Structure formats: structure tokens, C-alpha cells
């Protein structure tokens, strides 16, 4: 009798978890920001991928270590919204296309709980500058319950503005 109840309960959890995961794959949580930078995509790429220099200019990812190559793991220390706590993530680089796109995938604990695909897309503008699209897509069974904990849009905007100032001040 108890075995049957336990199996029904476990089966229900699996079905609910699979449903939540599927839902976030269809409709992920998203952050989308853009900024225009008065520099070429290659110049933006040079600053964006100079991870050793992040502490000098980046107000969000205050420390980053690793090689900018597909398959490599980074160690990123993030300063959270109010500047009173940090979080370390260890994402894996999925795209490193110089002057075009930089993308990584971070996971909370194990795959499928909360997965964050962070991206920077660099597009040339007609005037010789760059439009940087910076965002993240969140999927996983806990995403619907995470709410405002995943809304770091202000941090992305601050990073974008700091990157713009850094790039435009160096060329």
C-alpha cells in the first residue's frame, strides 16, 4: 500500500518536473539588452574577451578566469544587484566567434534545474560602430519559481554601459 502511494507521488513529481522543464524550453525566462558602441566589432570583442581586465571596468562580472575557447569553463564572480553579495558561476563556453558572438551556458547544481544561456552578439552598424545584443535565456524546472531572483537586467545594462565607456576610451 505505502509502496504504491510512494510510487504515485514520485511519478507525479517526475511528470510535474518534466512539464515545467518543457514549458521553460518553449517559453524561457529572458533578459534582452542592447547598446550601440562607437567602435568596430573587433575592438569590442577585444575588450569583452579580455577576462583578466574585468576587475578594472566591469561592475557586474567583477572577476573572470579562463580561456575564451569553445568547451572551456570560466570562473565568473558576479556582484549582485545591490552590491552587497557575490555569486560564483562556472559556465562552459558554447560559442566564441571573434568579432561576432560570445556565449556560455551556466547551470545551477545539475542540468535542468536552472540553466542560463548568456550571450553577447556583436553586429556592425552602417556608421562603423557596433550594436551589442546582450542577454540570457533561462530554462529549467525551478525557473517559474525563481521570479525576481533571475531578473538581473540592471546588472546587464550597467555592464553594457561600462563596456561602452571602456571600448570608446581605448581607441
Per-residue pLDDT tens digits for 17-70: 566 556 555 655 788 999 999 999 999 999 999 999 999 999 999 999 999 999
Q: What's the mean per-residue pLDDT of the chain?
A: 88
Confidence of residue 16 (pLDDT cuts 50, 70, 90): low
pLDDT average, residue stretch 118-136: 97
Fold adopted by 2-170: Alpha-D-Glucose-1,6-Bisphosphate; Chain A, domain 4 (3.30.530)
pLDDT, average across residues 126-138: 96
Give the start-to-end residue ranges of the domains of the chain.
Answer: 2-170
In percent, how much of the chain has pLDDT > 70?
84
Question: What are the C-alpha distances in Å from 157 to residues 45, 60, 83, 103?
Answer: 17, 9, 15, 17
Q: Which of 2-6, 74-78, 109-113, 124-128 has the lowest mean pLDDT?
A: 2-6
Q: Which residues of 81-112 are buried (b: 16+ CB within 10 A; e: fewer)?
A: beeeeeeebebebeebeebebbbbbbbbeeeb
Cα–Cα distance, 40 to 168 (Å, whole number)? 10
Is pLDDT of 122 > 70? Answer: yes
From residue 126, give the alpha-carbon distance in Å to each of 6, 36, 38, 95: 63, 12, 11, 25
**DSSP 8-class letter at 149:** G
Q: What is the DSSP letter of 98?
A: T
Looking at residues 131-158, what average pLDDT do you find? 88
- CA 106-108-113 angle, 5° bins: 110
Rounded CA gap, 125 and 106, in Å? 30
More confident residue, 112 or 70: 70
pLDDT tens per residue across span 151-163 = 789 999 999 999 9
**Predicted TM-score of the model (pTM):** 0.84
Amino acid at each position: 500500500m505505502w509502496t504504491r502511494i510512494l510510487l504515485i507521488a514520485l511519478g507525479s513529481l517526475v511528470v510535474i518536473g518534466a512539464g515545467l522543464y518543457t514549458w521553460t524550453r518553449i517559453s524561457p525566462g529572458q533578459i534582452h539588452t542592447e547598446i550601440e558602441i562607437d567602435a568596430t566589432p573587433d575592438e569590442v570583442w577585444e575588450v569583452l574577451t579580455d577576462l583578466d581586465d574585468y576587475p578594472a571596468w566591469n561592475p557586474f562580472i567583477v572577476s573572470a578566469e579562463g580561456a575564451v575557447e569553445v568547451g572551456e569553463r570560466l570562473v565568473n564572480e558576479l556582484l549582485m544587484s545591490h552590491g552587497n553579495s557575490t555569486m560564483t558561476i562556472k559556465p562552459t563556453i558554447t560559442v566564441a566567434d571573434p568579432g561576432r558572438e560570445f556565449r556560455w551556458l551556466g547551470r545551477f547544481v545539475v542540468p535542468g534545474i536552472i540553466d542560463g544561456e548568456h550571450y553577447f552578439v556583436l553586429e556592425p552598424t552602417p556608421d562603423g560602430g557596433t550594436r551589442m545584443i546582450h542577454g540570457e535565456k533561462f530554462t529549467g524546472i525551478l525557473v517559474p519559481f525563481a521570479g525576481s531572483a533571475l531578473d538581473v537586467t540592471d546588472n546587464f545594462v550597467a555592464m553594457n554601459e561600462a563596456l561602452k565607456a571602456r571600448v570608446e576610451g581605448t581607441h
